[in-house]
Amino acid sequence: MSFLSGFIAIIGPPNSGKSTLLNQLLGRKIAITSPKPQTTRNRIVGIYHGDNYQMAFMDTPGIHQTRSPLHKSMVNSAKASLKEVDIILLVAEPVDITHDSEMKAVLELLGKLEKPALLALNKIDLVKKENLLPLIESYSKLHCFDAIIPLSALYRDGLEALREELVKRLSPGPQFFPPDMITDKSEDFLIAEIIREKIYHETRQELPYSSAVVVEALDEDQERNLLKIIAVIYVEKQSQKGIIIGKDGAMIKRIGRKARMEVERIFSARVYLELFVKVEKKWSSDSRSLRRLGY
């Protein structure tokens, strides 16, 4: 039997559950998630290894209309992945989208691409059974999807059905990635993202969007199974630095503790995490700062 492989772009509106779905498909957390839109900023490749096949998923920042330089870079990276892949997986929420202008833009893009497109209708745990069929019907009228798979990424419902639909559409091809490779991202990147996720969970309003995280040093002490990490949280204003640090350092301690516990779980190692906060004025609108921070 020949080996099958394919590249799959996961696209869709912000907050529809793209990163959650990727993590669940892989059975490993490689992409951070949060209830806030625009959590994902970079394209992340996650590789699923089957017995005789390999699927490379690209998680993308949501496609949305935007003006800010950071968001432009995010949307461009989502659009660029569409051109490179074999299959497109649109993740949408089970809501009426007939009048949603962003969804229309996404569907228009799909129409032009002429590639297999599957719709993962996510978060069905939130809809009543009797409302599901009408929703599927209304989506099927908007685009000629190759398949529509209702699922709940969070509760791992419908994932096997989705995997089967995807496998059907892989092509004979080489093993692009070594069998032990799960993502294209470095440990540094994953750790910085986990810290950023905790900032998304712990802070409000514009603060998550004004934060960026860089791991400055990562030392592995293999004998003691210890990871030593030094990371910097960048914010845009002095006042934001105050909020991230919190009263008597309470906030940064909480962010640090939650990030440390998660890194310990993912890497199965003890972790020593030191966090610093620095102000870099307007990094999210300065192209040089954006590049330096990895966007």
Closest CA to 135 of 103, 177, 108: 103
Residue 125 contacts which entry, ligand GDP, Mg ion, none (Cβ below 5-8 A, type-dependent): ligand GDP
Distance CA 83, CA 55 (A): 17
Is the CB of 153 or the CB of 275 nearer to Mg ion?
153
Distance CA 89, CA 158 (A): 14
Residues in binding contact with Mg ion, number by CB under 5 A: 3
Q: Which stretch binds Mg ion (CB under 5 A): 33-41, 120-128, 148-156, 202-210?
A: 33-41
Distance CA 221, CA 226 (A): 5
Q: What 3-state DSSP class applies to 197?
A: helix
Burial profile 13-23: b = 16 or more Cβ within 10 angstroms, e = fewer:
bbbbbbbbbbb
Is the CB of 45 or the CB of 232 nearer to ligand GDP?
45
* Residue that the structure tokens 């509760």 belong to: 155
Residue 34 contacts which entry, ligand GDP, Mg ion, none (Cβ below 5-8 A, type-dependent): ligand GDP
Distance CA 199, CA 34 (A): 10
In the bound complex, what is the minimum distance in angstroms from residue 269's beta carbon to ligand GDP?
26
Is 19 among the residues that bind Mg ion (CB under 5 A)? yes
Is 60 among the residues that bind Mg ion (CB under 5 A)? no
Contacts with ligand GDP, residue ranges (CB under 6 A): 14-20, 33-35, 39-40, 62, 122-123, 125-126, 152-154
In the bound complex, what is the minimum distance in angstroms from residue 150's beta carbon to ligand GDP?
10
Residue 64 contacts which entry, ligand GDP, Mg ion, none (Cβ below 5-8 A, type-dependent): none
Residue 5 contacts which entry, Mg ion, ligand GDP, none (Cβ below 5-8 A, type-dependent): none
Candidates 40, 122, 152, 211; binder of Mg ion (CB under 5 A) is: 40
Distance CA 107, CA 41 (A): 21
Burial zone of 139 (CB within 10 Å; 0-12 exposed, 13-18 middle, 19+ buried): buried
Residues binding Mg ion (CB under 5 A): 18-19, 40
